[in-house]
Amino acid sequence: MTPRNIVIVGGGSAGWMAAAYLDASLNRNNRKVAEITLVESPEVPRIGVGEATVPSINHILAVVGVNEHDFLRRVDGTFKQAIKYVNWLQNDGSSYYHPFNRFREAPIDRTGKRWLMSDRSIPFAETISAQPVLCENNIAPQMLGPWDFGPPLTYAYHMNALKFADYLCEIATARGVRHRIDHMVDVEMAENGDIAAIRTKSGERIAGDLFIDCTGFAALLIEKKLDVKWIDSSQWLLCDRAVTMHVPHDPYYPGHIRPYTTASALSSGWVWEIPLQDKRSLGYVHSSAHLSEDQAHAELHQFEGAHADKLDSRVVHFKVGHREQAWVRNCIAIGLAGSFIEPLESTGLYLSDLASVMLAEHFPYENDYAPLAYRFNRIMANRFYEILDFINLHYCLTRRTDTEFWREVQRPERINDRLKAKLDYWRVKPPSQSDFEDQYFPGQSLSPLSSSGQLGDFRPPVDTAAIFGIDSHEAILYGMDFLRDESKQWFGENLPKSQVAGSVAARLQKAPNKLPPHDLWLQRVVGTPAYQKTIVR
């Protein structure tokens, strides 16, 4: 079989994940299915922020063949067991967790309903997961020796995105992926409407069978050449800017490296706080309609403390939405060229990860792209809307009224119809596992995907809970005190105290003798320096 030529335009995390994954998954067992060339422009500035992932990143790493300890060393990586949300329900310092591990009763799980029937004196996540308490105590999810602590704890990672791209580049090129550092200046089209080749500033013509657009929001192939429209989703998610800042541990070490991501709500959005081995990465995701650039910088500096005045910060512009079709003819948009949703649940890398996995699964060994593109586009669109609904959920349940931004996100026109139908249904019956078989509920709109998602597809998007199932929904719904009033009507006012599941309590009792502090694990296993505490956070 003659190998297919894949040309990836653009590097970064999206480009190099695609290159490394496609090479590792397709070119196996001494078979050469694809010849891969990645063209990366030296004229496009590299933008690096701390990046948080979801547990699915482990599939990419496993297929590529990455050793976890080497990975953590190379990307300044740390563990992520959960996301902690601060000031989302009320602006009063309250918080809740979305953990990655939880206890479930068998054969019938009643943990959610039992919590609704309690006085809610213990946050829901703490009753069904050890991870909130482990996170509060900055405990690692791994032991220093062999694991003998029951079921493994599920976790993801924090990483330096630029170093991750460089690491994947090193792996992929060592295995035969060609790397061209050159600037694309033209796109040559075939008579049938496919892309035939790209031309570079140095004069090279690079032909291909498939072209992957990883050129970010510039979308040089999918939009500039093929004129595929961008579907705007800013009606549902108002944030369109991020002020970012790096806070080095030397000299601003808070005395710990948190094994979780923090999302702290401020006046017009929220701040991510991602702990790396050598720094903390902060980003104030906000709405430019509610906050000026100067105000956003000032609010982030105030959030971090007086020492932030000595640190550089910059503004990143973004747009929430997706490409009308991610795969058109022989061009596939991956990363920001294909879609973007603010990274409240760490889905930035996930959508690039998913696109690479789906492309490998739907790889065209012949020139009949249409049926494969049809399925690829449907899956990617469904997953986009699943994530959009879930991020929308975090905002619409707030009770904050202290700023116009928080009042605005609660307005009915800021809650999409799919999410409204889910919430209305769950006000009749609390969520249960069967709700995630096919999330189509009474009153849900029959409107098709925006611009049909693809030609000939007139179905509405279907949320299959492929990334956010009942565990994730319960964490956010009950963390945001959903069904508070309904529970009083259903179960009365005098409710028993909340109870921690027995297996969770037993694990927490043993944890101090089994699991080390996160920073100690990093020092012992991957060589992180032992910083001295200098600030209070």
Tell me the residue type at 508: L
Q: Which tens digits make up the pLDDT trace of 97-144? A: 999 999 988 898 999 999 999 999 999 999 999 999 999 999 999 999
Quick one: CA torsion of 353, 355, 356, 359, rounded to 10 degrees? 160
Would you say 103 and 474 are in contact if contact means Cβ atoms under 8 Å apart?
Answer: no
For every one of its 537 residues, what pLDDT tens digit does the chain have, with 9 covering 90 and above? 688 999 999 999 999 999 999 999 999 888 899 999 999 999 888 777 789 999 999 999 999 999 999 999 999 999 999 999 999 999 999 999 999 999 988 898 999 999 999 999 999 999 999 999 999 999 999 999 999 999 999 999 999 999 999 999 999 999 999 999 999 999 999 999 999 999 999 999 999 999 999 999 999 999 999 999 999 999 999 999 999 999 999 999 999 999 999 999 999 999 999 999 999 999 999 999 999 999 999 999 999 999 999 999 999 999 999 999 999 999 999 999 999 999 999 998 999 999 999 999 999 998 889 999 999 999 999 999 999 999 999 999 999 999 999 999 999 999 999 999 999 999 999 999 889 887 778 888 777 765 544 555 667 777 778 899 999 999 999 999 999 999 999 999 899 999 999 999 999 999 999 999 999 999 999 999 999 999 887
Q: Are 290 and 404 in contact (CB under 8 A)?
A: yes
Q: Give the H/E segment covering residue 264.
A: strand 261-266
Q: Give yes or no for a cis peptide into 516 (omega within 30° of 0).
A: no
Note the pTM of the prediction, 2 decimals: 0.95
Q: What angle do CA 197, 202, 205 make, to 5 degrees?
A: 20
What is the tens place of the pLDDT at every residue in 431-462? Answer: 998 898 877 788 887 777 655 445 556 677 77
User: For residue 320, what are the contacts with CB-CB under 8 A and spacing of at least 6?
Assistant: 232, 233, 234, 236, 237, 239, 240, 340, 341, 342
CA angle 365, 369, 373 (to 5 degrees): 115
Q: What is the CB-side half-sphere exposure of residue 449 using CA atoms within 13 A?
A: 28
CA distance from start to end of the chain: 59
Q: Which domains are delineated in the chain?
A: 4-77+159-234+320-370 (3.50.50.60)
Q: How many CA atoms lie within 13 A of 62 on its CB side?
A: 6
427 by DSSP, 3-state: which?
coil
Backbone conformation region of residue 170, classed left if phi is above 0, alpha if psi is from -120 to 50, else beta: alpha
Please identify every residue annotated as catalytic.
80
